[in-house]
Structure 1
Amino acid sequence: MSSNDTSFGLPIPDSALALQRLYHWERTAPDRIACTQPMGGGVVRDVTWREMMDQARRLAGHLKAQGFPPGSKIALLSKNTVWWLISDYAIWLAGHVSVPLYPTLAAETIRQILQHSEAKLLVVGKLDGFEHMKAGIPAGLPCIATPLAPPNDYPKWDEVLSKATPLTGEPTRPADELATIMYTSGTTGVPKGVMHSFGTFAWSILSGLDRVNKIDQNTRMLSYLPLSHVAERTLVEHGQLATGMRVYFAESLETFTLDLQRARPTVFFSVPRLWVKFQQGVNAKMPPAKLERLLKIPILGGIVRKKVLGALGLDQCVLAAGGAAPMPPDLLRWYERLGLPIVEVYGMTENCGVSHATMPGHPRPGTVGVPYRGVQSRIDPNNGEIQVKCPGLMLGYYKEPELTKQSFTEDGWLHTGDKGQLDGEGNLRITGRVKDLFKTSKGKYVAPAPIEDRLVMHTSVEACCVTGANLGQPLGIVMLNPEAAKAAANGGRTDLEASLAAHLKSVNAVLDPHEQLDCIVVVSEPWTVDNGVITPTFKVKRNRIEELYSSNYERWVGSHQPVLWA
């Protein structure tokens, strides 16, 4: 489907809406492979559009038979699988609203979302640690277990579908009708239910495809970031509906390299933390200085690039993108030298993830590029906040009219909460969060995000946080990657301390005096989704960092050591 089908203003053509796209592929490409699903033990299963729609129609028939009122909320708790997509389609076919939950949530959060959304039924799929999640499912809530779900007593997918009467015909849902409620992971507070319609998703993917013309029915993507997150939902689910591309699913973290090798994606999207891990993996096998030398040698440099990208499973990639958090400029430049320029995208759940992006072939490290077609943006002259307006904006927060009102300006612009600046070409530079700014005891404000972009570039650092409200100088807290943590535990602390101290000196050399870090603190406990330090998309929760470590700040700074171990 061409993005020229829309003027990028509402109304959008009915042919672009999710259900109409499903019927299109059901009619025109029933035997084309839509998805490739790993089943475990090296076994994979190809699923055609015909098979997907047959199962979606059967599940929709089952849902209709339950007698739920139209527009009922049906929840999804699963890692990414083909049955996640089929369930979403079935919910829409049956006239209901899908409520996807992150597959890493704690029981308390699961309960809060299921109760707040008034979910009538829960589809339980592939999960790790389900024994800790199960307590969050309210007693009496009907559940259905998909293939690959953990052991449970729920009705099984195949059994439910075999007894169901398939939904027939081609029921449609209007553009302005609610399609889904996406509860934001959030770096602070209780998750909020972001409401999106069929129209907001359709407009957003069309606007995205207008910017990137490298996605079509021959595209291959590996789906591994949570489908409950807006980036994966828009790019993978609605991208597939729009283009008919083939989606491969990852099996596990342990098999991720093999999953990439199997899919050989032509389009690959990831969060900065994974792009950093890829780089660190390459550096572990070849010293960075040696790689730099080899890449500069004619002919040999091309061979090395191909070999490195082949080892990553990205040698067929024609479009690489990063988002969900700022990409360090030095990291972007490293991938560009490797022959894999990364398009940086910027967006949020509240605007379907579609706001700004750098132009393919025109890297602008340190910025997130220019607005997508149809997106308006401005910067508040009072506090530097980025504000956006487009037809892909959310309908509001579910059951939260006051929060919804606070999220928009009086003239209808969305408050992003991000601070930004424009360069001479109109590219947007994210300078931090409006509420992330903190003031030192010297009365100077510090924006942590740009400093963190530099701090995380040490080869042993996987994640970091710059903090220090009311201290004389800010400090950096870092989490080591597994390899560095293991080396430190086995007697390698001295060398690592020296390396981190040198890194601290180089970072401080380019900062203003009031921004310079007093010290780097290395934490021993990994930051995970389970312990609440990071979100499912690997953003560090600053409020959680403060809870865990703020009582130590004065002592750390008072030690007058460049590198400390927490």
Structure 2
Amino acid sequence: MSQPPLTEPQIKTEHGRVREISVPPLAPAVTHGNLADIPFTNAVEAPAETALTRKGRTDTWWHMTTRDFAREVQAVAKGLVALGLNPGDRVAIMARTTYEWTLTDFAAWTAGLITVPVYPTSSPSQARHILQDAGVRACFVEDVQQSRLISAERGNLPGLEHLWQFSSGAVGHIMDAGRDIPDAAVDERRARTGPESVATLIYTSGTTGPPKGCVLTHGNFFAEVDNAIELLHPVFRSVSAEPASTLLFLPLSHVFGRMVAIGCLRARVRLGHAPSIQTDDLLADLASFAPTFLLGIPYVLEKVYNTGRATAEKMGRASSFDRGARIARRYGEAVEEREHGHGDGPGWGLRAARGLYDTLIYRRIRAALGGHCRHIICGGSPLGRRLAAFFEGAGVAIYEGYGLTETTAAATATPPLKPRLGTVGWPLPGTAVRIADDGEVLIKGGHVFSGYWDARTASAVPHLDADGWMPTGDLGTLDDEGYLRITGRKKDLIITSGGKNLAPAPLEDWLRAHPLVSQCLVVGDNRPYVTALLTLEPDGLAHWQRMHKKEHLSTAELLVDGDLLRNLQQAVDEANSQVSRPESIRRFAVLPRDFTETDGHLTPSMKLRRAAIVRDFAAEIEKMYVR
């Protein structure tokens, strides 16, 4: 199956600069039906084809056909009807990335309901806010701990009538409740739901205030996944003899993971779920499932790279790994230049060197991803040119994208065969991107949400400007060919006392990629110069201690250890080389503990809560400005 032609983007310039780019859709707009139709259409058109692969109690994977998945969706939907849930009612799902999550999502849509994701790590107050604001009537949880958390809040949730626990057999009980409900009762509800109907309320991370519910319709998801499937043809329509498959490990409570799950079922790509992201658990699942592509975030790719280098260093082959990494980056950059008509691609010598290091290094990197992975869709935050080029050279194509909950995940993506490393690509087909006068990224498209949920009216409040553009709050630039580069958050913009404006994200992303650094917060608003708070990556630190024979040092001793501080200073110097002198980090402080969601320093999607961090570490910040 060949790659469908990509329509060339339409670019508008103002005063010699690219200000707007739009890409025509690759898929026709869906004018009738809804997401719940997907399992039933699959069951009719390809009943024996594998829809999902599930992990059994003996850690072995078994296949589920499209016919069997549709039967389970219908059975759960009938149970929801029997238990008194009405069309338009909101049903929450609070669980890790499991088969039951996807099953109940589609079953709820089949019954005409609206699903409301809740992060499994949410605090009682966070979960309460979402359930109250959405007016949830029923809630699925994964285990007894989550059940206790919600039960403790029942007094504040008078509208919550049902609480079901996956681990105690909730799915089977609901199926039993619906045995006497005729299929026609559910089919009629499904037929009444159209593309304009609300599919889900997904709440934002709440970095700057209480989470807001984004109202996403069935049509929003169709516009997103149908164009993504056509654009990322090598991913969803595997061009090799091996059928496409993916193991989903990112949270389904986040729009990114949800979009890919829906896209896989829409494209009939074999889908698996991995609930644990602990390194050993995930590596074992990847090895046994062997996906052809993965959905990832920069943190995961940084972890794979850093673990590979640490292993090489432990074996006394760090210099060999570093040479191989340089070869991979050069190879990836040469491929990029060829695709853009600026060169002939990797020369004979570079191809030969890559072949040598493929055996020594790259094969091990691919093995950590399951051995069969050739594509990674990456989002959440900028990956960076160095790492993107490395993986491209190591034989894993990276499709970097950018989007928000409000845009049903990706608004831009790297187009196949036209990569531009270090950018987040062109607009998704059917999407337009514009840069406002102040540098803010504006978006239009069929996947842009209806608005934010208003609990008083149980409807969406539109969030578009007079011309139909959605302001993202992100800052960015478009290059001469229309590739988008995200430079930071508008609200995060730092203005030093000397009047220098800078976005902290590029420095933070660069430092976070270092094996010793877990998190980084750049500080400098109304200050004479820029500083940073650093936290240490446990695995990277443990490896460093072994290599420097300093396992005996306590945390307090490490924070003042000269060798460690010199290594961190080198990392800061590397980051500073990417920016001007006024934007560079002059001093840094290493904190004794990491930022966590529990402490209120991270959102459930791992974004920094800047105000909380600055407040809680005010003393450490002040010390960096004492002469």
TM-score with structure 1 setting the length:
0.90
Q: Describe the superposition over 1:60-105 as per-residue Cα deviations: whole angstroms up to 9, x where unpaired.
A: 1122123333211111111111111111111111111111111111
Aligned to 1:289: 319
CA distance in 1, matches of 2:109, 2:128: 23
CA distance in 2, matches of 1:209, 1:505: 41
Shift in alpha-carbon separation, 1:404–1:466, aligned structure 2, 3 A: farther
Shift in alpha-carbon separation, 1:251–1:412, aligned structure 2, 3 A: closer
Shift in alpha-carbon separation, 1:11–1:306, aligned structure 2, 3 A: closer
Aligned to 1:213: 233
Contact 2:215 / 2:460 at 8 angstroms: preserved in 1?
no
Contact 1:397 / 1:404 at 8 angstroms: preserved in 2?
yes
Aligned to 1:224: 249
Q: Describe the superposition over 1:380-400 as per-residue Cα deviations: whole angstroms up to 9, x where unpaired.
A: 11x110101001111111117
Deviation at 1:14, TM superposition (A): 5.0
Q: Are 1:116 and 2:171 counterparts?
A: no
Contact 1:271 / 1:323 at 8 angstroms: preserved in 2?
yes
Deviation at 1:182, TM superposition (A): 0.8
5 Å-filtered alignment, 1:517-532, equals: 517-532=585-600
Q: Are 1:186 and 2:206 counterparts?
A: yes
Contact 1:368 / 1:429 at 8 angstroms: preserved in 2?
yes
Q: Describe the superposition over 1:244-281 as per-residue Cα deviations: whole angstroms up to 9, x where unpaired.
A: 11111114233111111122111111111111111111
Q: Are 1:333 and 2:371 counterparts?
A: no
2:183 paired residue among 168, 171, 176: 168
Deviation at 1:128, TM superposition (A): 6.6
CA distance in 2, matches of 1:127, 1:229: 22
Question: Secondary structure, in 3 states, of the residue corresponding to 1:286?
Answer: helix
Shift in alpha-carbon separation, 1:253–1:507, aligned structure 2, 3 A: closer
Deviation at 1:455, TM superposition (A): 2.0
Question: Secondary structure, in 3 states, of the residue corresponding to 1:421?
Answer: strand
Shift in alpha-carbon separation, 1:310–1:167, aligned structure 2, 3 A: farther
Deviation at 1:293, TM superposition (A): 2.6
Aligned to 1:261: 287
Q: Please identify, of 289-298 and 463-472, the stretch whose mean Cα deviation from structure 2 is larger.
A: 289-298
* Residue identity matched to 1:454: W
Aligned to 2:504: 448
5 Å-filtered alignment, 1:486-505, equals: 486=542, 487=545, 490-491=552-553, 493-505=561-573
* Residue identity matched to 1:391: G
2:98 paired residue among 49, 65, 81: 81
5 Å-filtered alignment, 1:471-486, equals: 471-486=527-542
CA distance in 2, matches of 1:411, 1:256: 45
CA distance in 1, matches of 2:56, 2:562: 45
Deviation at 1:536, TM superposition (A): 2.7
Shift in alpha-carbon separation, 1:506–1:179, aligned structure 2, 3 A: closer
Shift in alpha-carbon separation, 1:499–1:130, aligned structure 2, 3 A: farther
Contact 2:304 / 2:365 at 8 angstroms: preserved in 1?
no
Question: Secondary structure, in 3 states, of the residue corresponding to 2:196?
Answer: coil
Deviation at 1:56, TM superposition (A): 1.8
Q: Are 1:142 and 2:161 counterparts?
A: yes
CA distance in 2, matches of 1:160, 1:209: 33
Tell me how many residue pairs correspond in the alignment.
551
5 Å-filtered alignment, 1:552-563, equals: 552-558=620-626
Contact 2:452 / 2:463 at 8 angstroms: preserved in 1?
no
Question: Secondary structure, in 3 states, of the residue corresponding to 1:409?
Answer: coil
CA distance in 1, matches of 2:451, 2:275: 34
Aligned to 2:526: 470
CA distance in 2, matches of 1:28, 1:514: 61
Contact 1:357 / 1:372 at 8 angstroms: preserved in 2?
yes
Q: Are 1:90 and 2:107 counterparts?
A: yes
Aligned to 1:248: 272
Contact 1:182 / 1:194 at 8 angstroms: preserved in 2?
yes
* Residue identity matched to 1:135: A
* Residue identity matched to 2:176: S
Contact 1:418 / 1:434 at 8 angstroms: preserved in 2?
yes
Aligned to 1:303: 359
CA distance in 1, matches of 2:182, 2:610: 47
* Residue identity matched to 1:553: I
Contact 2:207 / 2:603 at 8 angstroms: preserved in 1?
yes
Q: Describe the superposition over 1:478-506 as per-residue Cα deviations: whole angstroms up to 9, x where unpaired.
A: 22111244437743533211111222233
* Residue identity matched to 1:168: D
Deviation at 1:167, TM superposition (A): 5.1
1:157 paired residue among 157, 171, 190: 171
1:277 paired residue among 278, 303, 309: 303
CA distance in 2, matches of 1:361, 1:315: 23
Aligned to 1:563: none
Contact 1:30 / 1:48 at 8 angstroms: preserved in 2?
yes
Question: Secondary structure, in 3 states, of the residue corresponding to 2:78?
Answer: helix
Deviation at 1:309, TM superposition (A): 2.8
Q: Describe the superposition over 1:114-161 as per-residue Cα deviations: whole angstroms up to 9, x where unpaired.
A: 111111111122587665555345566333545436xxxxx7332331
Contact 1:180 / 1:196 at 8 angstroms: preserved in 2?
yes
Question: Secondary structure, in 3 states, of the residue corresponding to 1:528?
Answer: coil
Q: Are 1:67 and 2:87 counterparts?
A: no
CA distance in 2, matches of 1:303, 1:235: 32
Q: Describe the superposition over 1:29-54 as per-residue Cα deviations: whole angstroms up to 9, x where unpaired.
A: 33333222334552445433333222
CA distance in 1, matches of 2:409, 2:173: 37
Aligned to 1:435: 491
Deviation at 1:425, TM superposition (A): 1.6
Deviation at 1:355, TM superposition (A): 1.1
TM-score with structure 2 setting the length:
0.81
- The gaps in structure 1 that reach 5 residues or longer are 150-154, 561-566
- The gaps in structure 2 that reach 5 residues or longer are 6-23, 328-352
Contact 1:16 / 1:202 at 8 angstroms: preserved in 2?
no
5 Å-filtered alignment, 1:407-426, equals: 407-426=463-482
Contact 1:468 / 1:553 at 8 angstroms: preserved in 2?
no
Deviation at 1:291, TM superposition (A): 1.2
CA distance in 2, matches of 1:245, 1:16: 21
RMSD across aligned C-alpha pairs, in angstroms? Answer: 2.8
CA distance in 1, matches of 2:518, 2:489: 21
Shift in alpha-carbon separation, 1:128–1:33, aligned structure 2, 3 A: farther
Question: Secondary structure, in 3 states, of the residue corresponding to 1:519?
Answer: strand
Contact 1:260 / 1:314 at 8 angstroms: preserved in 2?
yes
Contact 2:451 / 2:462 at 8 angstroms: preserved in 1?
no
Q: Are 1:387 and 2:421 counterparts?
A: no
Aligned to 1:564: none
Contact 1:408 / 1:415 at 8 angstroms: preserved in 2?
yes
Question: Secondary structure, in 3 states, of the residue corresponding to 1:206?
Answer: helix
CA distance in 2, matches of 1:420, 1:168: 50
CA distance in 2, matches of 1:334, 1:147: 41
CA distance in 2, matches of 1:129, 1:74: 16
Q: Describe the superposition over 1:414-435 as per-residue Cα deviations: whole angstroms up to 9, x where unpaired.
A: 0100111111221111111111
Q: Describe the superposition over 1:227-260 as per-residue Cα deviations: whole angstroms up to 9, x where unpaired.
A: 1111111112x21231111111114233111111
1:322 paired residue among 355, 373, 378: 378
Shift in alpha-carbon separation, 1:513–1:128, aligned structure 2, 3 A: farther
CA distance in 1, matches of 2:126, 2:376: 33
CA distance in 1, matches of 2:410, 2:577: 36
